[in-house]
Amino acid sequence: MAEQQIKVAVLGGGSFGTALASIAADNGAHVRQWMRDETLVAQINQEHRNGRYLPHYAMNPVVHASTDLQSVLDDAELVLIAIPSKAFRSVVQAAKPWLKPSQILVSTTKGIEQDSFFLMSQVLEQETGFIHIGVIAGPNLASEIADKQLTATVIASADALTRTRVQQALGCRYFRVYASNDRHGVELGGALKNIYAIAAGMAAALGMGENTRSMLMTRALAEMSRFAVAQGANPMTFLGLAGVGDLIVTCSSSLSRNYRVGHAMGEGRSLEEAVSALGQVAEGVNTVKLVCAKAQEMGVYMPLAEGLYRVLFDGVPAQDMARTLMMGEQSSDVEFILPREAVQQAHLENRGWHE
């Protein structure tokens, strides 16, 4: 429980920002939530409900919504940023005049910036130069959090104050906050799993079974960790909530928007139709493009991501791609989920795995 009434600002009026604002308020914080839509602001302040993104859930009435960034940020100690990756930098730039080095800035966004390949915490670092920067990721379907289902997340930061303050502000009877100092790994886990959630939704719609989903998820974990380790992340992070945990939930639930995009395509819709029917962000569509290009550049083997890319953007039928992947050359090596050299190194060096 919060030791004192912490002042929390949430940037973003979507489902995750709304769920987090309510948790912080349930936990005793003073919460302001910024969004662009005046109608939604009025609805949240009068009816305590976000009718556009979480219509069936009551919000904590303490959450005060506003379209005025300055008033939301002015005295905030903790700023949670739940803005899709495409708009993240522009919102941070708009917020910059009212951000202070003493504030704790936390991204909750599971995506990658288009041109820079920056994760959102890197955007925060670049734009502000502050030190209290962190990310939240884990198996955190917004509507289940809004429903107060028992949930756990990870706050990742190299800065101990950031980890502690987020745990104090958000940790409560239905939301448990673990800590990690592998910010890059936790943030990559959140972004990468969206790719495989699209594939899992597609597989389900095509009538593929539980064996298939399990194979997909397990080999996805191998791919994700291979890529992340090549990027400097701790492989052990991928065995935690922000790795396999988030992969499980998004590859298994139709509450995941990425899963839903894949499912709609498996039912015969085009990518454009699937995305526009969703009306919310599905980060994986952009992430798969960026990750495939980066994997090629770095020489990282990612057959599932590349297969999904070809289905989404080159019009290869998903069934054909599944056949190609199944018939790929079989290695006689022992099956490894985490790159073995990285595991040995992590073990020897105990590279900061605190979850």
Ligand X SMILES: O=C(CO)COP(=O)(O)O
Ligand Y SMILES: NC(=O)C1=CN([C@@H]2O[C@H](COP(=O)(O)OP(=O)(O)OC[C@H]3O[C@@H](n4cnc5c(N)ncnc54)[C@H](O)[C@@H]3O)[C@@H](O)[C@H]2O)C=CC1
Instruction: Indicate which residues carry an active-site annotation.
Output: 193
Q: Provide the minimum distance between the beta carbon of 333 and ligand X in the complex, in angstroms, as a whole number.
A: 32
Query: Candidates 13-21, 176-184, 208-216, 329-337 — which segment interacts with ligand Y by CB under 6 A?
Result: 13-21
126-145: contacts with ligand Y (CB under 6 A)? 140-142
- Judge whether 104 and 132 are in contact, CB under 8 Å: yes
Distance CA 188, CA 121 (A): 11
Residue where the block lists tokens 């800590």: 179
Is 58 annotated among the ligand-binding residues? no
**Partner whose binding site includes residue 246, from ligand Y, ligand X, none (CB under 5 to 8 Å by kind):** ligand X
Query: Candidates 52-60, 135-143, 176-184, 344-352 — which segment interacts with ligand X by CB under 6 A?
Result: 135-143
Is 138 annotated among the ligand-binding residues? yes
Interaction between residue 225 and ligand X (CB under 6 A): no
* DSSP designation for 283: T
Q: Give residue 204's Cα distance to chain centre.
A: 22
Distance CA 36, CA 44 (A): 13
Per-residue string for binding with ligand X, 95-114, x by CB under 6 A? ---------------x----
Closest CA to 153 of 133, 116, 179: 179
* Per-state percent for the chain, helix, strand, coil, to nearest 5: 55, 10, 35
Query: Candidates 72-80, 89-97, 255-263, 302-310 — which segment interacts with ligand X by CB under 6 A?
Result: 255-263
Residue at shortest CB range from ligand Y: 14
Q: Provide the minimum distance between the beta carbon of 160 and ligand X in the complex, in angstroms, as a whole number.
A: 25
Query: Is 7 or 52 the residue whose CB approaches ligand Y more closely?
Result: 52
310-339: contacts with ligand Y (CB under 6 A)? none
Query: Is 122 or 250 the residue whose CB approaches ligand X more closely?
Result: 250
**Partner whose binding site includes residue 35, from ligand Y, ligand X, none (CB under 5 to 8 Å by kind):** ligand Y
Using the CB atoms, write b or e for 173-199: b if 16+ within 10 Å. ebbbbbbbbbbbbbbbbbbbbbbbbbb
Query: Is 111 or 240 the residue whose CB approaches ligand Y more closely?
Result: 111
Interaction between residue 26 and ligand X (CB under 6 A): no
Distance CA 45, CA 65 (A): 6
38-97: contacts with ligand Y (CB under 6 A)? 53, 82-85, 87, 90-91
Interaction between residue 256 and ligand X (CB under 6 A): yes
Beta strands in the chain (DSSP E): 7-11, 30-34, 64-66, 78-81, 104-107, 133-137, 151-156, 175-180
Q: In a 10 Å sphere around its CB, with 0-12 CB exposed, 13-18 middle and 19+ buried, how is residue 265 labelled?
A: buried
- Judge whether 217 and 110 are in contact, CB under 8 Å: no
Distance CA 151, CA 178 (A): 11
Query: Is 135 or 322 the residue whose CB approaches ligand Y more closely?
Result: 135
Interaction between residue 196 and ligand Y (CB under 6 A): no
Query: Is 103 or 143 the residue whose CB approaches ligand Y more closely?
Result: 143
Among positions 67, 280, 319, 345, the unique one binding ligand Y when judged by CB under 6 A: 280
For residue 231, what are the CA distances in angstroms to 126, 182, 189, 193?
Answer: 18, 12, 12, 16
Give binding residues as ranges: 12-17, 36, 53, 110, 138, 142, 193, 246, 256-258, 281, 283
Binding-site members for NAD(+) are 12-17, 142, 257
Binding residues for ligand X, rule: CB under 6 A, are: 110, 139-141, 194, 197, 246, 249-250, 256-258
